[in-house]
Amino acid sequence: MGKKNAKAGSLESSDLLVVIEEKEAGEKLEIVMNSIVEKQYGDRIIEIAHEIAALKGMDNVRILIQDRGALDYAIRARIETAIERYERGV
């Protein structure tokens, strides 16, 4: 059986794709991000991901973010949706 994962979002302009992947037992949270606005907003995107992961108790996953210039509210919504789908096994 493969590792558990979940997705939310798209690669359309002004959106982002978030993938949550299960990690091996004992491994810590990992956030991997690629963004067209990484120089300007990369640190903020990572900060948002850490904040939401901490609130949801997600400390043993990999969060992959492919950003196409999304605004903060979209980033939050996509990460929260991916986490909810991950938790439900959708």
Question: Residues 29-49: pLDDT tens digits?
Answer: 999 999 999 999 999 999 999
pLDDT at 3: 79
Query: CB neighbours (10 Å) of residue 53?
Result: 18
pLDDT at 2: 58
**Which residue has tokens 């509210």?**
73
Q: Report if pTM > 0.75.
A: yes
Percentage above 70 pLDDT, the chain: 98
Domains of the chain by range and CATH?
A: 5-88 (3.30.230.10)
pLDDT at 1: 46
Nearest to 31 by CA among 75, 68, 73, 1: 75
Q: Write out residues in the chain with pLDDT < 50, as ranges.
A: 1
